[in-house]
Amino acid sequence: MLSDWLPFLIYALLAAGIPASMIAFSFVFATRPTSRTKQRMIPFESGVSEGPPRQDRRFTVSFYLTAMLFILFDIEIVFLYPLAIQLDALGWFGLIEFLVFIAILFVAYVYIWRKGALEWH
């Protein structure tokens, strides 16, 4: 009876242990602000220190465009995994379908590259 539940219990322990260890490690290895660094406690995001936060600051359209393109290509790449798993069973039809899918992704990538959507201004 326990052997049926053992994989689930191991998975549950890992699912609870990994986030708990990340939180514990962040407390152990976090740097403590000193009096010298307290005066420079400004937000730091994406490698750029911006100064005091402002509530009326707006993000540029390129920020949202980059995020949308990342999500789009990330989701499309996820569809490649099941196809790659079943490629042997699908035979030539699967290979041709795989190549067509890659070609469509490549054409989309070249299109957004030519439009300048990957340039950060």
User: Can you list the positions of beta strands (E) in the chain?
Assistant: 44-45, 48-49
- Are β-strands 48-49 and 44-45 bridged in parallel, bridged antiparallel, or unpaired? antiparallel
**Which residues are paired to 44 by β-bridges?**
49
What pLDDT, in 10s, does the model give residues 35-93?
A: 555 545 555 555 554 555 555 566 667 777 778 888 888 888 888 888 888 888 888 98
**Angle 40-44-46 from CA coordinates, rounded to 5°:** 155
- pTM of the entire structure? 0.46
